[in-house]
Amino acid sequence: MIPFAPCRGFVALACLLAAGANVAIAQRAGEMELTKAYKTLAAKDYDQAIELFHKGLALQPNNARVHKDLAYTLLKTGNSADARDEFESAIRLNESDENAKLEYAFLCYETKKPVEARRMFDRLRKTAGPAARATAEQAFQNIDKPLGQNIERWQQALARATAPNSIALYSAHWELAETAELRDDLPLAAEQYEICRQLKPNNSELLLPLARVWQQLNRVEEARAALLAASRSKDSRTAELALADLGPRYPYPYEFEKALGLDPGNVTLRRELAYLYLAMHDLPHAMKQFEQVLAIDPKDQLARDQLDALHGFKSRPVSDAAAIATPRVSARVMGMKSLGAGYTRDAIKYLQQAHEEDPGDEEVVLKLGWAYNAAKNDDEAVRWFGQARLAEDPAIAAEAERAFHNLRGDTVAQITVWTYPVFSSRWKDVFNYGQVKRTVPLPWNKPNKLFSLYLSARFMGDIKSSMQQNAAVPQYLSENSIIFGAGVSSKTWHRLTAWGEAGEAVGYLPLNSHDRLVPDYRGGINFARGFGSLLGSHVPGLFYETTGDVDYVSRFDKDWLFLSQHRAGRTFRAWDGSSFQALFNLNFEQDSKHQYWANTIEMGPGIKLHLPWMPPNVYFSSDFLRGIYTNNLYNPRRPNYNDVRVSLWYARTK
């Protein structure tokens, strides 16, 4: 045997070399996509970078660094849920990345997953390095302490309760159950959810949290029984949620029996068990279940007919009755279940069959649209959404309408409101700028991904009334007008957006009759980009932001204005969820007419603040600026100035 040993060694060496070559090839796969992704990320084209990251990860799924970079890119676009999932993938691949774990925990809390957030903070405060441990400890206490206080408060309230079946008693048990689950006190949560079920046995929705907690307590059979009972609920939403968690396997008879132990009055569940016994040719048990259905609902004609057949009251033989009654899970149910579980091919097959059986089922038509969309067949998805948007059910029609237009790239009607009140110590006045803008569908029925049309109403005014009354207030700061107009806006490309408007300015404080109505034409190009830990980031750090505008305004003697603003500093995050920035401003302004008021350089420190109770699109800021006029021709003022500006920004789109 010894002479063959070198051959075996040679073969082993060849295998190792081949394996190494395969690893190298696998590592090279996706490098081109990832290189492009980082280039587009540097250019702040976030949407394109995200698409390229996904392509690269399809070829390098185990690249933890790329998952993490994709997560940060998704955060810049406001997609917190997907960013959370990418951080989770990065953690799974690199367990030592404490920064990713912190980001994941903060995002879990932000995206309504407080249990996962608390668990991760709890783990980090015990095992992480000093810096991450301190952050995790504070975050954990911020979550855990109020929960503990709430549990104690509800337990005291229950101890004082006297009415055995009052609404207040049920609410107290429910609040205690929810709070205990959030704090991971699962035995207490299960106990309280069971009490809630005893107080309201006909509320099938209560089976869902009970199943969830039992599953975590490893009471698997009880959890499945609760889901099975909920999946046959009269409440369609409860049934759909339960089916999604139940899985594709059809239940066994003993599982039906356990489910009926939890929900004995569930006629649908009991009837289905009777059919299952018929399919097994277990006629005595089938008859027993049909009899119990009739005991619950004497008007159940289907159960009565089946019993008549089984007792021989009908002309057909019992064996035929059993064959006819053989249970069959509907194509509709299987289609919904497959779609919820992500089995798109099966979902399409079953939903198509359900549609053939009942063409009038509007929900099936809508779900077919989503199934084809999940299968990346957008042409078919658009066709089904197009049918569903004609549904009589307003909720189905509205959902289909949005999906139809989004897939086609149509302009969907949206309303955007923004306002920017600002106090200036330089002018000793408060100015306010705002706009209400509504996008409108294009006049032709074709998709468009280049631009959108909109109607607009702008407000520009100040407290010291009109600019003619107060010569100290320049025209470009306060027009004292409401401007009604129509405009066109390009889709954002590489952070650039172009726009143009035509309208009429209506002076709300007219001094002269010819000032009441003034034609107004304006437009321009806007550019914005940011780096680092921007305001709202969960991780403190350095940041830099820049915005640039080229604007044409006909009312300013048909002038072109050029503005460039730069802000750099550090973002801080407080334990209560507040975030604020300490920053330095550098602003440039010029115009094509070389007017003194439109040619300045400003610089100075500032702060920007977002409090926990503020919506994500609201912030307060204060800047302390030193300004210099770069063109002093016809300037009646000093060549430099100081200005303290205090402002609030609010914007919303719906």
* pLDDT value at 484 more than 90: yes
Predicted confidence (pLDDT) per residue in 70-129, tens digit: 999 998 888 888 999 999 999 999 988 988 999 999 999 888 888 899 999 999 999 988
Looking at residue 579, its pLDDT comes to: 85
Looking at residue 465, its pLDDT comes to: 60
Q: What angle do CA 76, 104, 47 make, to 5 degrees?
A: 25
Predicted confidence (pLDDT) per residue in 514-524, tens digit: 456 788 999 99
Label the pairing between strands 579-591 and 559-573. antiparallel
DSSP track, 539-599: S-EEEEEEEEEEEEETTTTSEEEEEEEEEEEEEEE-TTS-EEEEEEEEEEEEETT--GGG-
CB atoms within 10 A of CB 314: 14
How far lies 632's CA from each of 281, 467, 527, 588, in Å? 100, 21, 29, 15
Q: What average pLDDT does the segment 474-496 reach?
A: 80
How far lies 209's CA from each of 84, 191, 240, 501, in Å? 23, 12, 14, 53
The model's confidence at residue 565, banded by pLDDT at 50, 70 and 90, is very high
% of the chain surpassing 70 pLDDT: 85
* pLDDT value at 1 more than 60: no
Predicted confidence (pLDDT) per residue in 141-153, tens digit: 998 999 999 899 8
Q: Is the C-alpha dihedral spanning 287, 290, 292, 295 positive or negative? A: negative
Determine contact, residues 232/272, Cβ cutoff 8 Å.
yes
Q: Where are the domain boundaries for CATH 2.40.160 in the chain?
A: 415-653
As a whole number of angstroms, the distance between CA 621 and CA 89 comes to 36
Q: Which two tokens stand for residue 359?
A: 């063409």
The model's confidence at residue 342, banded by pLDDT at 50, 70 and 90, is low
Looking at residue 373, its pLDDT comes to: 87
Closest CA to 365 of 383, 379, 340, 377: 383
Instruction: Give the residue with greater pLDDT, 432 vs 537.
Output: 432
Largest CA distance in the chain: 113
Q: What average pLDDT does the segment 186-197 reach?
A: 91
Q: What average pLDDT does the segment 220-228 reach?
A: 92
Q: Which two tokens stand for residue 434?
A: 């705002």
SS (H, E, C) 305-328: HHHHHHCCCCCCCHHHHHHHCCCC
Q: Is the C-alpha dihedral spanning 166, 167, 172, 174 positive or negative? A: positive
* pLDDT value at 4 more than 80: no
The model's confidence at residue 510, banded by pLDDT at 50, 70 and 90, is low
Determine contact, residues 560/551, Cβ cutoff 8 Å.
yes
What global pTM score does this model have? 0.46
Looking at residue 9, its pLDDT comes to: 46
Task: For residue 315, count CB atoms less than 10 angstroms from its CB and return exposed for 0-12, middle for 13-18, buried for 19 or more.
Answer: exposed
Most confident of 339-343, 354-358, 530-534, 626-630: 626-630
Determine contact, residues 407/642, Cβ cutoff 8 Å.
no
As a whole number of angstroms, the distance between CA 587 and CA 625 comes to 10
Looking at residue 327, its pLDDT comes to: 41
Looking at residue 25, its pLDDT comes to: 46
The model's confidence at residue 16, banded by pLDDT at 50, 70 and 90, is very low
Q: What average pLDDT does the segment 554-564 reach?
A: 88
Q: What average pLDDT does the segment 616-645 reach?
A: 89
* pLDDT value at 604 more than 90: yes
* pLDDT value at 473 more than 60: no
Looking at residue 317, its pLDDT comes to: 44
The model's confidence at residue 471, banded by pLDDT at 50, 70 and 90, is very low
% of the chain surpassing 90 pLDDT: 30
The model's confidence at residue 507, banded by pLDDT at 50, 70 and 90, is confident
Secondary element (H or E) of residue 39: helix 31-42
Number of H helices, E strands in the chain: 23, 12
CB atoms within 10 A of CB 397: 16
Give the SS3 label for residue 468: coil
Closest CA to 140 of 124, 159, 163, 121: 121
Q: What average pLDDT does the segment 603-612 reach?
A: 92
Q: What average pLDDT does the segment 251-256 reach?
A: 88
The model's confidence at residue 541, banded by pLDDT at 50, 70 and 90, is confident
Looking at residue 447, its pLDDT comes to: 56
Looking at residue 324, its pLDDT comes to: 41
Lowest average pLDDT, out of 195-204, 387-396, 413-422, 448-457, goes to 448-457
Lowest average pLDDT, out of 306-310, 378-382, 463-467, goes to 463-467
Alpha helices per DSSP H over 375-473: 378-388, 394-408
Predicted confidence (pLDDT) per residue in 443-456, tens digit: 655 556 678 889 99
In the CATH scheme, what is the code of domain 415-653?
A: 2.40.160
Q: Which two tokens stand for residue 560?
A: 């072109």
The model's confidence at residue 161, banded by pLDDT at 50, 70 and 90, is confident
Strand partners, 649: 619
Label the pairing between strands 517-532 and 541-553. antiparallel
Lowest average pLDDT, out of 181-185, 345-349, 550-554, goes to 345-349
| Beta carbons within 8 Å of 466's beta carbon, 6+ residues apart | 478, 480, 507, 509, 511
Q: Where are the domain boundaries for CATH 1.25.40.10 in the chain?
A: 331-408
Looking at residue 509, its pLDDT comes to: 73
The model's confidence at residue 28, banded by pLDDT at 50, 70 and 90, is low
* pLDDT value at 38 more than 70: yes
Lowest average pLDDT, out of 236-240, 378-382, 480-484, goes to 236-240
Looking at residue 641, its pLDDT comes to: 93
CATH class of 331-408: mainly alpha
Q: What average pLDDT does the segment 438-447 reach?
A: 67
Q: What average pLDDT does the segment 39-60 reach?
A: 88
Secondary element (H or E) of residue 497: strand 496-507
DSSP track, 158-195: HHH---TT-HHHHHHHHHHHHHHHHTT-HHHHHHHHHH
* pLDDT value at 3 more than 90: no
